[in-house]
Structure 1
Amino acid sequence: MAWIYLFLAGLFETGWAIGLKYTEGFSRLVPSLLTVAAMGVSFWLLSAALRTLPVGSAYAVWTGIGAVGTVILGILLFKEPVTVARMLSILLILAGVAGLRLTSGG
C-alpha cells in the first residue's frame, strides 16, 4: 500500500508543480487554492508512504514521478520543446524510479 501512496503523492506533486504556472505568482485565487491543496495532499501521501518505505528511496521516487509528470504536462499544456535530450532524460529518471522500486523494501 505504501507504494500506491507514494505513486499518488507523485501525481499530486505533478499537479501542484503545474498548478504553480496557473497561479501567476499566487495572484489568482482559485488556481492558488487548488495548488496549495494539491501540495497538502502530496505531502500527506508522502508522509503515509514513509511509515514503511526508506526515506531516501521514497523521496527520490516522489520527486522522479513529479519531475517526469511535470515535463510531460509541460509539453502537452504549454507546448514546451520535445527534444531527444529531454526524452532520454525522462527515460533515465524512469529507470532510476524503477530501480529504486525494485531494490527498496516495503
Structure 2
Amino acid sequence: MDEQIHRISFIKNILDLSQHDFIEYVNCDLQSRVTIINKIKATRKNRKISQTELAKLAGCSRQTISSVESFNSSPGADILLSMIKALNMNLDIHIEFKLKTMEQK
C-alpha cells in the first residue's frame, strides 16, 4: 500500500468560517497571521478610522490595536476576529487541506 497526498484548496470569506476554524487558520501559519494583520491595518487606514475608534468597535484598548499593527504582540485569534468584524471586512483567504489516502498496488 502506498500513501498518497491529495491537496484540496478553495477561497472562502474569513467571516464565513466558524470561530474554531478561524482559530485553527490563524494559529497554523505565521504568514497567514501577518497577512491578516496587514489587511486589517490597511482597511482601517483606507477607511480613515483611528486606532482609538477601532478599539472601541472591537472592544479592546487602543494600545492593543497599536501593538497588533506594529507586530509588538502576538494577538489571539479572538482579538483578530473582533477587529475584522468591527471593520466588517470582506477578507477572502486561501485554504488548503492535505488528504492522505492509501492505495493498493
Answer yes or no: same fold by TM over 0.5. no
TM-score by length of 1: 0.27
Higher helix share: 1
Higher relative contact order (CA 8 A, sep 6+): 2
Greater Cα radius of gyration, structure 1 or 2: 2
Higher strand share: 2
